[in-house]
Amino acid sequence: MPRLAVERIAFERDRMALLVRVPEGADASLGTCGADRLLAARPSLAFHTCLNDEDAPFAEVLARTSLPHALEHLVIDLQAANPACASDATFVGTTEWLSKRDGLARVTVNFTDDLIALGALKDALALLEGTVE
């Protein structure tokens, strides 16, 4: 069973909004080994700016952050690395729990090209499947 399911994708003017479900609930995270594997695959994640409750860099919270939050950063990272995206583009996103008990979250990420954003989402999900403990 997938660890993270995208139940709905909606495109707004410049954002992709995802309704995602974590079957294990809000406590599901990458863990230390999963975070290490993800950082090895995408070292640029270590340099992401992140507004979080701990006021810590994303690399420091990655092992214990929620899977939807990790997905948000992966989609951003993959878009930013795509040579077809404008070099001056800034990608941002948000993750919010709609129901922690049900493991339901909303992830939004902006984009410059909707097809690149969809490709980044697909690749991000594949990366997460290979790293979650």
The domain tally of the chain equals 1
Share of the chain above pLDDT 70, in %: 95
Surface-to-core class of residue 55, CB atoms within 10 Å of its CB (0-12 exposed, 13-18 middle, 19+ buried): exposed
98 membership: H or E segment, kind and range: strand 93-99
Residue among 119, 109, 114, 5 at smallest CA distance from 67: 5
Please report where in the chains the tokens 């309704």 appear, as a residue: 19
Tokens of 40: 């090895």
Kindly report, residue by residue over 62-121, the tens digit of the pLDDT.
898 899 999 999 999 999 999 888 777 889 999 999 999 999 999 999 999 999 999 999
Please, which residues have CB within 8 angstroms of residue 32's CB and are 6 or more apart in sequence? Answer: 63
Q: Does residue 48 have a pLDDT over 80?
A: yes
Q: Which domain holds residue 99?
A: 5-131
